[in-house]
Every structure is written in C-alpha cells, then in structure tokens.
Structure 1
Amino acid sequence: MVGGGVLGTLHAWEAVQRGHEVVQIERETEARGASVRNFGLVWVGGRAGGVELATAVRARGLWERIGGRVPDLGFRANGSLTVVRTEAELAVAREVANGAEAADRGFKLLDAAETRALNPALRGGFLGALWCDRDGAVEPRTAQPALRAALAATGRYTWLPGREVRDLVSGGVRDDRGERHGADVVLLCTGAWLGGLVREVAGEIPVRRVRLQMAQTEPLGERLTTSVADADSFRYYPAYRGPSLDALAAAQPQPPVAAGAAMQLLMVQRLDGSLTIGDTHEYAQPFGFDVTEDPYRHLDEVAGALLGRPLPRITRRWAGVYAQATDPSKIVHRAEIAERTWLITGPGGRGMTCSPAIAEDTAQEAGF
C-alpha cells in the first residue's frame, strides 16, 4: 500500500479485514495533503444520482461501523443543514425535498423555527433549511492515526513513513532507501501526487488537480449540532440541478468574490469546539503559493449571518490540493497499471465521504 492519506488508509483497512498482511508506505512522516486539509464531512446529500449516490450511502454505513470499532475516529451522525435566506434558494430546497430521490438522500425541508430547534446555534435570519439526516462527520486530522493504531493492534499491519517508493519491481516495490518490499498486490493511492513514479508508470492520467482555501476558528462556545452549508452549495453539487437552480442562477448571481473563487460556505464543528470553514475552488494551474484574504472575509460574513453573531477568531488558514477524475461519471480513477499493481486516485471532493466504499470496490475489482 503506497500512500498514507484517507484513501490509502481505508484500502489498508479493507485488506486487513479480509485477512491480508499490509505494509503501508508514506513519503511524509504523516499524511499532509487533502486527507487532513478537509472538513471531515461524510457528505451524502449533494451527490449525483445513481452510482455516486449509492456509493456515498454505502460508505456512510461503513464509516458508522468503523467508527463503532475505532472511537478515536470521531465519527458522529450529525446530519447537515443547508440554510436558505431567499425565496429563490427556498425554491431549490423545496424542489429537491419533493424529488424522487429525497428519501434516499434523507432530505426534509424545515422552516426557520424547525431549523433553530434542530440547531440552536443558528440564530441569524433565514427562511429555513434543507435537512439531510444521512450526512456525518469524522475528525480529519486524527482519522488516519486512529485507523493505523487499530490496524497495528491486529498484528498484520506495518506503517513505514518517511519513504518514497521509486520503482515497481517484480512482486513488489523499491523505496528511496533501496529497500524492496514484496507484495502480492500493490495499491498506489497517491492523492494529488501525479508526477514521479505515477507519471513514469501510468503516463498522463485523466485526473486534474483542484486547489482550495479553508480555515479553522477558535471554539464557538456552544455546540453546533449539525454540519452547516449555505445555499451557494446548491450551485456546486449535482443533486440540486433542476429548474429551480436555473432560476436561482439567473435571479440571484453570486457576489463577485464568491463567483470568482467558486465558493460555498461549509462549516463543521470539531470535537474541541472549533469550526472548520471553507471553501474555494481553483482549477487553472499553476496554482498560487499564497492564500488570499477576500474569500475569508466572504466566509466570515456569511457564517456570521447564519450564526447571528460574529464568527469566532480564525486561528489557522491553509490551502490544499486534491485530485479529481476528469470524467464526471467516475467516482475515482482506478486502473491496473502493471501486473497486480493498481493506481487509485482522483476521488475529488468525495474522498473523505466515499473512501471506505472505494476501498471495498477495489478489493472486488483487484481480487484481494
């Protein structure tokens, strides 16, 4: 197993559950990419219908079962509220809440009083919210170490950080220390690292890189009982497409800062009471090396409007890059690039949500 992020770690988990011995190799001392620079959202509601939704629903069940075995994962079935503040936004929420897939997604339209009863921390002005009871959350900064600790307890798992795999060799890989690691099956879960060995053995693959900005605040001082999104989320998730969304786009354009950065507000409370907020999307490379302030001001304004008070002080800001398959019909790019050697990357913003199910599918396809 090459790659120490959530996708690689869930593949290691799946293999160990199936009775295999696993060696997991990571070039950093810990995962430092998109797997720790995200919301920890298990986000079912917004997924595209069909295979993507079915995968997300299956993954949500797997996360809950894994969380029951690994409490330090911090899994909670907290659901999400997408809060609407205008009649045009309310129309989108009403359309999907009455749609054919509403029950599969766990959707219910709430008025303002019902929204505040479900999440009393939301004291701003709004018309209501789209409630999704299928959504959940984990702790992204601690998920991988918690899973690795549980894997190590089985006696069939070895973690080798600080090593970069340089070569595929017969029946295994060789790292940058010159050590060979034998394997019946090699899985490369390399995230947004698409150069080096990946390009050498797989060439250019149908995966792009996406950059985002996020932040973390001081503790809120009270419990945010659900994950929270603003109605700009309707614009970026396929589940909400339809006539009402078209009408929203025409009647209520995003503010220039939000439109320019392809923004939505997502807000999740961490177990220490702080809030993870974001995010932006940048697709054109080369990406900037710095973060910009205008998107954070926009997030602060929108979050404050929903909370009905100023957002707690931001204590951390960061940018992250994730890999996204360019074929929108694919959950992930999965390909056998050499005998018994598979490359799995490009889940995009679905990585944290769908990783357990993606790993399960890889096991089926690769036959381990």
Structure 2
Amino acid sequence: MRVVVVGGGVLGTMHAWEAVRRGHEVLQVERELEARGASVRNFGLVWVSGRADGAEIELAQRARDLWEQVPGISFRPAGSLTVCRTEAELAVAKEAAARPDATKRGFQVLDAEQTRDRNPVLKGELQGALWCDRDAIVEPREVLAALRDELAKSGRYEFRGGREVRAVESGRIVDDHQETHHGDLILLCTGAWHSGLIRELTQDLPVRRVRLQMLQTAPLDDTLSTAVADADSFRYYPAYTGPAVQELEPQATVAADNAMQLLMVQRTHGGLTIGDTHEYAEPFGFDVQTDSYDYLQETAERILGRSLPKIVRRWAGVYSQTTNDEVVLRRELAAGVHLVTGPGGRGMTMAPAIAEQTFEEHS
C-alpha cells in the first residue's frame, strides 16, 4: 500500500515505522518543520510499571519489547525505582509486589540498602523502593529524528515538514501548499490538535487535552542509573489502586492542587528531566507556575540528598487523552481514513504497539 501519515509525533512516526517495516510506501506530513508537541516534551519513559490491567498493560508490555528492537536509537533498559520515604508508602510497594502479575511487571520491593545498591545516587532518607525492571528510557528530543533516518534507508519513506493538512477524503489529502497526496490508507495521528480540520471531520470525540509542566537541569556530576519516581506516583497510576493507597498521608497542598507526581530521568548528556503536573480544565494558562517547580526541586533534592544542578529549562506540554475506557481512540472517518489519538501520557510508552495494532487490523 501507499500510506499517508498525518502527524510527526511519536505516534505518527511509529505508524510510519510499522508501515515501512511491513513493506509499504509511506509519506509522513507534519504541520511544523519538526514535531514540537508532547512527543518531545516528555520524560522518554517506556513506563510499564503502573499500567492498568487488561489492554493497557498488554500494550505496554508489547511496546516495551518493540522499543528494544528499534535500531539507531538510544534505548536504555534502566528500570525504575519508586522511592518510599515512609512506612505507609512502603506498604503500597509491598501490596504491588504481591499482585498475581508482579513478576511479569518486574516488581520487587527493596529495602533502603538494596535501593542504594541499585542506584547509589539516592542518598536521601528513604525506607526502600519498588523496583520495576521492565521500565526503560529513550531520548524524546532525539528519537523522532533517529527513527526518520532509519526509515529513509528503506527508500520507501518521505517526510514533509511545514505542511498543514487542509482537506482529507478517501484516498487523498490536500496540504496548505495546495498539493494533493494520494494514499490507500490515511492515518491521522494528530495528537492534541482537536480543532480545525479534526473538528470538521468528526464531532464530540471522547478526548480531552491535559497540560503538564516539567524542567531540566544542567548535567549532574554523577550517574542516575535508573528512572526514579516518588510515592505520589502510587496515587496516579492504576496498578497501585488498593487499600494501602488509601492509607497514604495527604499530599502536600501544591502537589494535590496540581495533580503532581515526581518522575526523574537522566538524559544522555547528564542533565535531569524532572516533572510533572497535570492540568485538566481549559483554557490553560499561557504561563508556568513557579510553586510547582519549587516543589519538584525540593522533592528531588530530598530523594537525592543533595542540591540539584542549575535548572536550565522549564516548559509546558499538552497531550490528548481519552475520557472513556479506550486506551487509544480509533475512529474511521471515511473509507481508508482513520484517526488514532488520545493515548494520554502513555503515548511514548505504547506508540510502537499501538501502531502494530493498527496495521494488524488493516492487514
């Protein structure tokens, strides 16, 4: 087939990857010169550990295996530590490690000494941690270009940046350069773009937009050997739902008000990416909130037992999330025209498996 993919983020690029892998010819169109949305404004976490039972964890597990097979990218099977600083937090970790599928998820409870053996940079006060050996890291600001470079080697792939699609119908799209592009299959992987053309094509989608804030530091003079989370992530991810979560101490006010958890990843250049917040009510602010960044910095420093390097970047991002029980939203808008969107904060994790699933449905 000739496949046209609209959207240059990780979901669109993984659909292009899967199409080329199956022998198809692909044109990928992106309205920006390069993707600038949530796909480059995230942690780069392939995050299996906290996923909900059923389709969500199955997709996450499959995607984890697929990420490891992609050539030309920086894939690190580093695992994650969710740090517990109180007995109540450690009780949640123990409850998670007692799940029937704990081994498949890679869960293991570590005491304080074992936690520091796994990641010696964690010098703050802690009771232990939940270890997940299935979690992994990719580089969000590098992976899309690396994937496109690999795709170009096939001779069956073309990327057109700076092209906004203005019309879509069965068999073709028209961009804002007044060029028509034909395809047997057209995939709209448009992320948080819910307005304009998408609104014209379909109404009342069960999706919402979510805004988050993150930061990045200058290089740390040490190696963070795993991804790190704090125990607020127990409140956020569905795999940890259970009696022990209900016994956690109340969140700090700033964390509760901004639906916060701490996630921390070291980039290949040594800097730390730290976040995040969640804002659900639109219209979103055009600015970022200092108190959220202060809280993230303080929490990270308590876990590390040291001051952070200088904060060199702060940013906000917006992603698309389904509001029903679908892991990802799929809609056929016309014959051979399919919208794929709404994986939420799971997009970087699950994109390879979502793309594989798309083509299995159209094989």
Shared fold (TM-score, shorter chain, > 0.5): yes
- Aligned mates of 2:69, 2:312 — CA distance in 1: 33
- Aligned mates of 2:125, 2:165 — CA distance in 1: 53
- Aligned mates of 1:169, 1:57 — CA distance in 2: 35
Instruction: Tell me the residue number matched to 2:78.
Output: 78
Instruction: Tell me the residue number matched to 1:274.
Output: 271
Deviation at 1:170, TM superposition (A): 4.3
1:336 matches 2:332: yes
Q: Which amino acid aligns with 1:255?
A: A
- Aligned mates of 1:274, 1:169 — CA distance in 2: 45
- Aligned mates of 2:334, 2:197 — CA distance in 1: 12
- The answer to whether the 8 A contact 2:110-2:129 is kept is yes
Instruction: Tell me the residue number matched to 1:138.
Output: 138
Q: Which amino acid aligns with 1:282?
A: E
> Residue deviations 1:115-165, cap 9 Å, x none?
000101111110000000000010000110000000011100000000001
- Report matched runs for 1:60-71 at 5 Å: 60-66=64-70, 69-70=71-72
- Aligned mates of 2:318, 2:55 — CA distance in 1: 25
- The answer to whether the 8 A contact 2:320-2:343 is kept is yes
Q: Which amino acid aligns with 2:56?
A: E
- Aligned mates of 1:95, 1:312 — CA distance in 2: 35
Instruction: Tell me the residue number matched to 1:359.
Output: 355
* Number of residue pairs matched by the alignment: 359
1:237 matches 2:233: no
Instruction: Tell me the residue number matched to 2:320.
Output: 323
> Residue deviations 1:66-97, cap 9 Å, x none?
1xx22xx2111000000000011011001111
- Aligned mates of 2:170, 2:242 — CA distance in 1: 51
Deviation at 1:312, TM superposition (A): 1.3
Aligned partner of residue 81 in structure 2, secondary structure: strand
- The answer to whether the 8 A contact 2:170-2:335 is kept is no
* Percent of aligned pairs with the same amino acid: 63
Deviation at 1:225, TM superposition (A): 0.2
Aligned partner of residue 310 in structure 1, secondary structure: coil
RMSD of aligned residue pairs (Cα, Å) = 0.7
Moved beyond 4 Å, runs of 4+: none
Q: Which amino acid aligns with 2:265?
A: V
- Report matched runs for 1:127-206 at 5 Å: 127-206=127-206
1:20 matches 2:17: no
- Aligned mates of 2:167, 2:203 — CA distance in 1: 15
Aligned partner of residue 68 in structure 2, secondary structure: helix
- Aligned mates of 1:13, 1:5 — CA distance in 2: 12
> Residue deviations 1:271-301, cap 9 Å, x none?
0000000000000000000001001111111
Structure 1: which 5+ runs fail to align? none
TM-score when scaled to structure 1?
0.97
Aligned partner of residue 129 in structure 2, secondary structure: strand
Deviation at 1:331, TM superposition (A): 1.3
Instruction: Tell me the residue number matched to 2:51.
Output: 47
> Residue deviations 1:191-239, cap 9 Å, x none?
0001111110112211100000000001111110000000000000000
Aligned partner of residue 286 in structure 2, secondary structure: coil
Instruction: Tell me the residue number matched to 1:285.
Output: 282
Q: Which amino acid aligns with 2:313?
A: R
Structure 2: which 5+ runs fail to align? none
- Aligned mates of 2:43, 2:288 — CA distance in 1: 18
- Aligned mates of 2:103, 2:133 — CA distance in 1: 10
- Aligned mates of 2:247, 2:304 — CA distance in 1: 27
- Aligned mates of 2:64, 2:44 — CA distance in 1: 12
- Aligned mates of 1:138, 1:185 — CA distance in 2: 29
